[in-house]
Amino acid sequence: MLRRRKHGFGVWAFHLSASSKGSKEIWSPVFAGRKGVSRPADCLLTNARVGGTSTTRDMKLADLAACTLISLDQCFLSRLAIKRKRDADFDDLLHTLFEAVRAKRVVCPAHLLTTKYESLKLRDPVEVAKVLNLQQDLSLGCAFHEFWDIIAWKMLQMVRPSLRFERCKRARMTWEHGTSLEMKRLRLKAMDQQRVETINAVPFPASDYRKGTPYEETLAEIEREREDSMRLLLKGISSGMRVAPRIDWMAGVRDALMRDRVTLPECAALLEAVDDGRWRQIDVLRVNSMLFAKIEQGMLEGGRAWRLSDHADIYRLCVSLLCADIATCDNPMKDVLKQTKLEGWCRATVFTVTKPRALTAYLQSLT
């Protein structure tokens, strides 16, 4: 029972359109004494900061072992960075985070791609800059790996047992030199509209879909589709052909494998891993499949509305659950976690945007 899914998502296409070639770092703002933005609304996040010079120093990866890693989702970042959205509880949380980051007890590595993608959906370029610069401050120059890069890394570990996986990398947010936030926002809006039109042109659900299909069957079908796509991708790498996978993020996996110079014997071994079911057990991939299947079942069975941002939320949450010590999310995503019973299985403690006091108290207990 095959049916077409809403696999398409603009983050990977956004990555292709936002090449770091010729980019400059975004400078972070000072922690204290922030008094708005002194630059025009259509500011450039290139080699100029928004509001002063940074008082922070980048964290060395070797020092991260002693730190608590926090993944801040877009809801938390927006509430913390934008004053009109911040109440007293988020003021307390912001102060606690600043103090913990200054003391190098806590680091909030950035989700570079999804944070830029979702921040650009804010209407005011000044608010976009505030969100991005706050994340830059709290990250201390560290970032989580992208979802597709982690999958490629875990695949290579199957054929290169000595390969070591690090939860974070040294990276700062970059922007195309000379590109304004407003221009970026308009480009993203046009790209998203095109993606939505393309996705909605495919009938969903398919005419042969059976109402009442259990979650386990939906999950198994998703995993089969992904395995088929990965087989084609690996065969394409082996033959020297650049196969365009139907699932967007697999283009990222392909590029990461080629960047790490996967060999023909390794491709053959990875094809065996796909055939015998070991590939689908990669932890971050398994979590993504389970969350994706639960959301799809909600669309098919419960009439849940489809949102383009669902995929960005899932990408970020999958990485957070497995790489961070503390993960944050909105209430609907927390409900999906409960339904899939993933919260207790993953390493991260999860807090929702409606309970900033709980996160503040947790951080204070770490001192």
**Segment 237-258, tens digit of pLDDT:** 998 887 777 788 888 999 999 9
pLDDT band at 94 (very low <50, low <70, confident <90, very high): very high
Task: Tell which residue, 330, 242, 253, has the closest CA to residue 285.
Answer: 253
- Span 161-188, average pLDDT: 77
Looking at per-residue pLDDT, the higher value among 275 and 32 belongs to 275
- Could you write out the DSSP letters of every residue in 149-202? HHHHHHHHHHH-TTPPP-SEEE---EEETT--HHHHHHHHHHHHHHHHHHHHTS
**Would the pLDDT of 74 be above 60?**
yes
Question: How confident is the model at residue 228, as a pLDDT?
Answer: 93
**Would the pLDDT of 360 be above 80?**
yes
SS3 call for 70: strand
**Would the pLDDT of 3 be above 60?**
no
- Span 38-44, average pLDDT: 31
pLDDT band at 328 (very low <50, low <70, confident <90, very high): very high
How many angstroms separate the CA atoms of 362 and 367, rounded?
10
**Would the pLDDT of 209 be above 90?**
no
Q: What are the residue boundaries of the structural domains of the chain, listed by start?
A: 10-32+46-145+167-197+308-365
**Would the pLDDT of 197 be above 80?**
no
SS3 call for 332: helix
- Span 322-326, average pLDDT: 93
Instruction: Read off the pLDDT of residues 129-142 as tens digits, 9 standing for 90 and up.
Output: 899 999 999 999 99
Percent of the chain with pLDDT over 70: 78
Which residue type is seen at 148? W
- Span 313-322, average pLDDT: 92
pLDDT band at 211 (very low <50, low <70, confident <90, very high): confident
Other C-beta atoms closer than 10 Å to the C-beta of 1 total 10
| E-assigned strand segments in the chain | 23-25, 68-71, 106-107, 142-144, 168-170, 174-176, 326-329, 349-352
Question: How confident is the model at residue 295, as a pLDDT?
Answer: 87
**Would the pLDDT of 210 be above 80?**
no
